Amino acid sequence: MAEIDFDPFDPAHRADPYPYYSRLRETAPVWRSPRGAWVLTRFRDCTEVLRDARFGHGSRQRLLDKSNWRRPAPSQAMPFILLDPPEHTRQRSLVNRAFTPRRVQRLSPWIKRLVDSMVDEAIEKGEADLVESCFHPLPATVISELLGVPSQDRELVRGWSRVIARGVDPDYQRTSDEKRERDEALAAFDGYFRELVAERRREGGDDLLTELIAARDNGSALSEGELLATCTMIYVAGHETTTDLLSNGTLALMRNPGELKRLRDDPRLLDSGVEEFLRYDPPTQLTRRTVLADLELAGHDIARGDQVVLVRGAANRDPEVFDDPDRLDVGRPANRHIAFDGGVHFCLGAGLARLEARLAFESLVTKVGDIELATDAVPYKDNLTIRGPKELTVRLTAR
Ligand code: HEM
């Protein structure tokens, strides 16, 4: 096979990794990287792996230890995003009892007011970094409100979350200082939620945390460690990704003014528009799985313990599944993207993310007139697994 010069983590690809993904998908769709991981870029291979129980995380079999990716400290429980069935199934079904669509839907009018006021403020200023003024604080405020993090603590918690999100890339990508900061942020989260859980146990509350403490399934409940790991996971997963969906979608619309016009002319396209942003430029670009049994995949023999990396950004633009995949089409029918996954780990917060995005884009397309980038280039966060602009400074007018 020809030598392939591909490193998905190379910052040179960060702003636009898609031409590199296409080349890889065309020349070596199941590619063994120099680090030994199998990198998959075809939609059909990625979805097959997501649905196949022979691919997982392998924490019980101690296979996770072979990976280069973060593990919690021995004193911390593993968040269930890193667990396989049956442990994953038990915790996920307990959490499903608390994290209900009704609880999410109840927040809708409040989210609408919040995002409208942020967008109004940006318009009034005439120029604003939308990441800092709206796209990061919006989901952070929403997830804090949902979980029950008090207003006075939100800035502190948001800071830890940023550090952890950065640390989601594999460990070989991190300096030792970054790893230490990430582990400190995780410990800070643990300590913080330990106190909040104790307070809710004493006094109760009307929030997700209280429901998570109370959730019971056949007499089983989340242990203290599981609760803490779940809260941190929900907090971090619940907003860094949504920030990127809002930024990536806005950027895509600025670069495709015809699609922005379509949304303005027909806001009924907002739902399919959000799905298209998720497909076109997904916030989570990569997912890792461990192979739990020797097997064959697309003609390759793959050994137990090997690592598989699924490149969602590539699968979502596979021409075998999506017509004209590099084109943004806010009305794209039957959009089967895998931005929220496609197996047992299907995103817990997909409903919340869709609601926030729908309300944010509704506000943007109905309130904003002209909108253009105020900078020549868009700087990206130094992170690929959860990828998006570090800032998005725009000039904008009222409609
Ligand atoms: C646009 C925003 C979002 C995107 C693109 C996204 C994407 C994903 C993806 C791809 C996974 C699967 C990861 C894997 O299989 O390794 C996942 C899982 C998860 N997401 Fe999201 N997510 C988003 C928003 C949210 C929100 C708002 C929440 C919570 C409130 C959330 C909570 C979770 C949790 C807890 C899991 C683990 C589920 C499990 O292991 O069963 N996510 N998400």
Render 335-373 in DSSP notation, one character per residue. ----TT-SSTT--TTHHHHHHHHHHHHHHHHHHEEEEEE
> Ligand 1, closest atom to CA 81?
40
Take atom 2 of ligand 1 and give the residue whose Cα is closest: 242
Summarize the confidence of residues 296-300 as an average pLDDT: 95
Nearest CA owner, ligand 1 atom 27: 238
CA 355–ligand 1 middle distance (angstroms) = 14
The pLDDT of residue 247 is above 80: yes
Take atom 23 of ligand 1 and give the residue whose Cα is closest: 241
Mean pLDDT of 74-89: 87
DSSP-derived letter for residue 142 is H
Question: For residues 314 and 33, which has the higher predicted lDDT (pLDDT)?
Answer: 314
How confident is the prediction for the chain on average, in pLDDT?
91
Show the ligand 1 pocket: residues with CB < 6 angstroms.
Answer: 80-81, 92, 143, 233-234, 237-238, 241-242, 245, 282-284, 287, 339-341, 345, 347-349, 352-353
How far out from the chain centre does Cα 292 lie? 25
Q: In which domain, by residue range, is 184 found?
A: 11-398
What pLDDT is attached to residue 69? 46
Q: Is 1 inside any structural domain?
A: no
What pLDDT shows up at residue 385?
84
CA 74 – ligand 1 centroid, Å: 24
Q: Using CA atoms, how far apart are residues 117 and 391, in angstroms rounded to an integer?
A: 20
List the residue whose alpha carbon is closest to atom 3 of ligand 1: 241
Rounded to the nearest angstrom, the distance between the alpha carbon of 238 and the centre of ligand 1 is 7
Assign 76 a pLDDT band (cuts: 50, 70, 90).
Answer: confident
The tally of domains found in the chain comes to 1
Confidence check: pLDDT of 67 > 50 = no
**What is the best residue among 95, 231, 347, 359 to mutate for testing ligand 1's pocket, by most ligand atoms within 8 Å of CB?**
347
Residue nearest to atom 6 of ligand 1 (CA): 340
* For the CA of 352, the nearest atom of ligand 1: 27
Residue nearest atom 11 in ligand 1 by C-alpha distance:
347
Q: In the chain, where does DSSP find H-type helix? A: 18-27, 43-51, 87-98, 101-106, 108-125, 130, 137-147, 154-166, 176-203, 208-214, 224-237, 240-255, 257-265, 270-280, 312-315, 350-367
**In-domain check, residue 207:** yes
- According to DSSP, residue 168 is labeled T
Mean pLDDT of the 151-179 span: 81
Q: How many angstroms separate the alpha carbon of residue 337 from the centre of ligand 1?
A: 14
Over 80: is that where the pLDDT of 379 sits?
A: yes
Between 204 and 166, residue with greater pLDDT: 204
Distance 263 CA to ligand 1 centre (A): 26
> What would the DSSP string read from start to end of 40-108?
E-SHHHHHHHHH-TTEE--TTTT-GGGSSS----TTSPPPGGG--TTHHHHHHHHHHHHS-HHHHHHTH
From the list 172, 174, 193, 192, the residue with the least C-alpha distance to 182 is 174
- Tell me how far the alpha carbon of residue 288 lies from the centroid of ligand 1, in angstroms: 14
Atom 37 (ligand 1) nearest CA: 81
108, 348, 354, 384, best to mutate for ligand 1 pocket (most atoms within 8 Å of CB): 348
Backbone angles phi and psi of 172, in degrees to 5: -70, -15
Report the nearest-CA residue for atom 10 of ligand 1. 340
Q: How far is the CA of 81 from the centre of ligand 1 (A)?
A: 8
Q: What is the mean pLDDT of residues 369-394?
A: 93
338 part of a folded domain: yes
Lowest mean pLDDT segment, chosen from 20-29, 60-69, 269-278: 60-69
C-alpha 350 – ligand 1 centre gap (Å): 7
- Rounded mean pLDDT, 328-343: 96
| DSSP label of 172 | G
Residue 5 is assigned to a structural domain of this protein: no
User: How high is the pLDDT of residue 305?
Assistant: 92
Q: Which H/E stretch holds residue 309? A: strand 307-311
Q: How far is the CA of 3 from the centre of ligand 1 (A)?
A: 35
Q: Is residue 6 part of a domain?
A: no
Collapse the DSSP code of 391 into the 3-class scheme (helix H, G, I; strand E, B; otherwise coil) and give the result.
Answer: coil
For residue 104, the number of C-alpha atoms closer than 13 Å in the C-beta half-sphere is 17
Q: How far is the CA of 343 from the centre of ligand 1 (A)?
A: 12
How many residues can be counted in the chain?
Answer: 399
- Has residue 354 been placed in a domain? yes
4 within domain boundaries: no
The CATH code of the domain that includes 219 is 1.10.630.10
